[in-house]
Amino acid sequence: MSYSNTERYETSRHEAIHCLAAVHFGIGVESVDVILGQKSLTTAGQTNLKLPCEAPEVPRLLRIDPQRAVQIVRGVIAVGSAPAADEGNPMNPSDKSVIDAFQRYWTSPSPSWSTVCQQAGQDMRQWLRQRETRVQIDRLTQILFVEGRLSGQPLQRALQRSIDPSKIAPRPPAPATQPQMSARAMLNEAVMKAYDYIHNPRGALYCKIFVPSQEDLDRERRTYEN
């Protein structure tokens, strides 16, 4: 099955927008995978969200805390629709299905579902237009392109690094059996330095690295998994 670097990059950007929109609109991110397209004909990537509530819980939340219900659903709509808005394309069926699930349980006439969607779209487009958002998307896209899959603390560090590199938590020490810096980590480090320099130039930029081939990265992954 063919899954080109161009397709992988486009998928990385799509999922990066999902992730960063989720953080911005108060929704958790549990994992992201941009290499599903290597084995799947129908799914190139996937972001798993930690939703504040599931769609069937919306009617109850509308009764006890309607303001919170509106906030959550606006966030879900914004997160699901942001990549398509950035790409200028209709939402793909997978992204749309999440929003459709919440629509089925929206029982409030005021605000109506169309009003909530309109407000969510305005919030999402305003967020996408911000220059800092574009920089964050570029940063996370590069990380996801290199890493392929992220979850747990590595994902949270990647999100933090993309949003504000100055507040990165220190990495835990690497196990003694691993190299001091893997080929994947070297490439990731170099890409991030280059992006930070482009957006915040200061002095000269020196970056000398070994750029691994896809075979090197695959071999390295198999070594760590074994």
Query: In whole angstroms, what is the distance from residue 217 CA to residue 176 CA?
Result: 20
Tell me, yes or no, whether 203 lies in a domain: yes
Distance CA 98, CA 103 (A): 9
Q: Please indicate, yes or no, whether residues 35 and 115 belong to a single structural domain of this protein.
A: yes
Q: Are residues 126 and 187 in the same domain?
A: no
- Single residue among 104, 131, 158 that ends a domain in this structure: 131
What total number of domains does the chain contain?
2
Q: Is residue 137 part of a domain?
A: no
Domain that holds residue 209: 178-226
- What tens digit of pLDDT does each residue of 19-72 get? 999 999 999 999 999 988 777 766 789 999 999 999 999 999 999 999 999 999
Tokens 């690094």 -> residue: 161
Q: What tokens appear for 145 in the block?
A: 């392109």
Asked if residue 184 and residue 126 are part of one domain, the reply reads: no
Contacts of 203 (CB under 8 A, 6+ apart): none
Whether 200 and 127 map to the same domain: the answer is no
Same domain? For 11 and 103 the reply is yes
Same structural domain for residues 117 and 196?
A: no
Q: Tell me if 58 sits within 8 A of 102, measured CB to CB.
A: yes
Q: Determine which of 2-6, 14-18, 143-147, 173-177 has the lowest per-residue pLDDT on average.
A: 173-177
What is the model's pTM? 0.74
Q: Is the peptide bond before 111 cis (omega within 30 degrees of 0)?
A: yes
What confidence tens digit (pLDDT) does each residue in 95-141 have? 999 999 999 999 999 999 999 999 999 999 999 999 999 999 999 99
3-state secondary structure of 89: coil
Do 184 and 120 share a structural domain? no
Note whether residue 150 is domain-resident. no
